[in-house]
Chain A
Amino acid sequence: MDTERTLQIKAISGHPGTVAGHGAKRELEVAKLIDVTTCIGCKACEVACVEWNDHPFRETVFDNTYQTMPTTQWNYYNLIKFNEHQEDNGNLMWLMRKDQCMHCADPGCLRACPADGAIVQYANGIVDFQQDNCIGCQYCISGCPFNIPRFNTTTKKVYKCTLCSDRVGAGLEPACIKACPTGCLHFGTKEEMKAMAETRAAQLRNDPLFPRPNAGVYDPQSIGGTHVMYVLHDITKPELYGGLPANPQIPVSYTLWKYFAKPIGLFMALMGLLAVFYHYIFNGPKLPQPEAPAQEEER
């Protein structure tokens, strides 16, 4: 972005050689990379998230899995989803995926939201909820392809992972990244993370002992890519990882209806008002008959 380069030095008087730093590029977009192949399911990221956001540890439901709770909650943004999966050759795979907001480039929540300023998308790609402006209509929940926003019935506001926008703004990595002991979580610019993800996927595909020919990077283009990406053993079956959608979509009604049909509807309503107004101007009132005798003109 050009505004970030306005104070970059372009030329220096009496300076020998090239200008230091000339042509340097700054990447604005950040991304989180989750390598599910090295996740051990320790849940350190869950604890770090709860701690940083100062949430109490909430009551959970035991549903016979290793998950802390069945789904994320309004004060539990980050959840490791555990899935036992049997491969075609009979091998058991224990799939663990860190579930949280994906920070879509084209966020369905933001499209669906009717309240001014309740959801913002920063230039660095973080999608953040501003609870002060939230009216609690929960359209964002219906607009999200990943089923992430959660409604707090007490405050009547919706919450989700902020990608630690407060930490990132201060030059720190998100809390979950900092806590990860295996290094399966990475944070950096979107370009760096993409390159790192591709490298890791290629490594998995070409592993001499246990090759994963379908290994790949999850960065769904149906919503313009995400600022949280995954490296999966099998990119062709993302649903195995706790229901990650292969082709996430924003409901058509939130694009077509909201940005196209709604203004037309409003315009038509206004036209209706004008129509009855001009009907009166053109035709006048319809009076009970016979009309009262007109007053004789005074001559």
Chain B
Amino acid sequence: MTTSVEQLDEQARRGFGKLGRTTVHEGELLRHPVYTRFLHWTVAIFFFAALLSGLAIYSPWLFHWLTPLFGGGPMTRLLHPWFGLGFAIAYFFQFLNWLAIMRWTAADRRWLRHLPEYVKGDSKLEPEYVGFFNGGQKLQFWEIIFGAGVLLVTGLFMWFPEIFGRGLVAIGYVLHDISALVMLAGIWVHIYLSTVGQPGTLQAMTRGVVTRAWGWTHHPAWYREATGRNPREDYQRALERRRETEAQEREANAHERGPEIGPPPE
């Protein structure tokens, strides 16, 4: 089973690799190949279509704001399950694509203990054990697997009430809402961290590449794996190089301005 799944995924990866390309420039690392990017954005499109159409039906306060986006109430109701189904199918392939890399490890347990510092932003560099995905990302991945399962099953209850009966609909829609709200909370964090919160991250999902500095800062163990180099040493070297450059510039500036002005304070 696992091997056939891996084969399917590998075939898709190669096929999409032929359809598109990922250009890795000097000083950059390949983060996400074409297939992964395709899956991510397909999932994202279906997710937001389902989210907005779902929120329209979720609350009377949002009904008149959001139903016009989908062509009115009946059309919103008609489309929502299809968006949801699209999301579930797309995320299933994402699941296969990331299954191996999302395996929960001891490093992730360590990362969760480090979560408060991560939130406060105390450490400038992530701990050396953080691999391709950190514990938080993995947690979100598995939350969505579980949550999407709940959404799919309860969604089917509501889609075909004549088969499942009114009791399951009445319970199902509560679980459907809770699951969607939890996922929504996760999505705020996901979008924040991948854009303004951690600059340089978004390009991993658009162009598919990140800078080396991004790699040793946020995912040192992955950096070691991808480059065969020591992330901390490379960071130190970059730091020294920067200091040298700064010193040279300062010297050059000092010559221009004349000797009476001392070097600017650090």
Contact = CB atoms under 8 A, between A and B. Distances in A.
Which of the four size classes fits the interface of chain A? 35 or more
Given A151-B162, A251-B167, A269-B184, A290 B239 contact: yes
A115 B58 CA distance: 10
Nearest to A254: B170
Interface stretch (A42-50, A99-107, A203-211, A281-289): A281-289
A156 B76 CA distance: 12
Q: Is the interface of B mostly helix, strand, loop or mixed?
A: helix
Contacts of B17: none
Nearest to B187: A272
Contacts of A262: 58-59, 177
B174 A268 contact: no
Given A269-B185, A283-B120, A114 B58 contact: yes
A290 B192 contact: no
B39 interface: no
Interface in A248-268: 251, 253-254, 257, 261-263, 265-266, 268
Interface stretch (B5-13, B99-107, B210-218): B210-218
B25 interface: no
A147 B161 CA distance: 12
Interface in B86-137: 119-121, 124-125
Contacts of B217: 286-289
Interface in B183-216: 184-185, 188-189, 191-192, 196-200, 211, 213-214, 216
A80 to B, nearest CB: 23
Given A156-B78, A262-B58, A290-B242, A114 B63 contact: yes
A85 B217 CA distance: 79
Given A135-B77, A273-B188, A287 B238 contact: no
B74 A134 contact: yes
Nearest to B189: A276
B181 A269 contact: yes
Given A115-B73, A275-B188, A137 B253 contact: no
Nearest to A134: B74
Contacts of A283: 120-121
A296 B188 contact: no
A141 interface: yes
A137 B57 contact: yes
Contacts of A286: 121, 124, 197-198, 217-218
A253 B174 CA distance: 7
A135 B124 CA distance: 52
A66 interface: no
A280 B196 CA distance: 8
B214 A266 contact: no
A288 B218 contact: yes
A266 B61 contact: yes
Contacts of A251: 166-167, 170-171
Given A116-B63, A288-B213, A136 B239 contact: no
With a 10 A CB-CB cut-off, give which of A136, A137, A263, A287 has the most chain B CB atoms.
A137
18 contacts: A114-B63, A138-B158, A141-B166, A141-B169, A142-B173, A143-B166, A253-B171, A262-B177, A266-B62, A273-B188, A276-B189, A276-B197, A279-B197, A283-B121, A286-B121, A289-B216, A290-B242, A296-B253
